[in-house]
Amino acid sequence: MEKLKYTVITGASSGIGYETAKAFADRDKPLILVARRKKRLQQLKQAIRQKNPNLEVLIFPVDLTIKENVYQLFSDLTIYELETWINNAGIGMYGGLRTNDLQKTEHLLQLNIEAFAILSSLFVKDYFSKAGTQLINISSAGRYTIVPNAVLYCATKFFVSAFTGRDSRRIDCCWCQHASQVISSCCHQNRVRPDSSEHGYL
Ligand X SMILES: NC(=O)c1ccc[n+]([C@@H]2O[C@H](COP(=O)([O-])OP(=O)(O)OC[C@H]3O[C@@H](n4cnc5c(N)ncnc54)[C@H](OP(=O)(O)O)[C@@H]3O)[C@@H](O)[C@H]2O)c1
Q: Which residues lie near ligand X (CB under 6 A)?
A: 11-17, 35-37, 40, 62-65, 88-92, 111, 138, 140, 185-186, 191-193, 196, 199, 201-202
108, 153 contact by CB (below 8 A): yes
Q: Among the residues of 111-175, which ranges form H helices?
A: 116-127, 151-164
Least distance CB 200 / ligand X (angstroms): 9
Kindly state the DSSP code that residue 140 receives in the 8-state scheme. Answer: -
Measured from the CB atom, the residue of 14 and 100 that comes closer to ligand X is: 14
Residue nearest to ligand X (CB): 15
Q: Strands 81-87 and 57-61: what pairing? A: unpaired
- The CA-atom distances, in angstroms, between 15 and each of 35, 89, 110, 191 are 12, 10, 20, 12
Closest approach, Cβ 1 to ligand X, in A, equals 32
CB of 98 to ligand X, least distance (A): 23
In angstroms, give the least distance from the CB of 72 to ligand X: 13
Name which of 25 and 35 has its Cβ closer to ligand X.
Answer: 35
List, in order, residues 6 or more apart from 52 with CB less than 8 Å away.
25, 26, 28
Q: Please state the closest distance from residue 63 (CB atom) to ligand X, in A.
A: 5
In the complex with ligand X, the residue whose CB is nearer, 54 or 189, is: 189
State the Cα–Cα distance between residues 115 and 123, nearest whole angstrom.
12
Rounded to an integer, what distance in angstroms lies between the CA atom of residue 123 and that of residue 133?
10
4 vs 144 by CB, closer to ligand X: 144
> Which CB, 37 or 130, lies closer to ligand X?
37
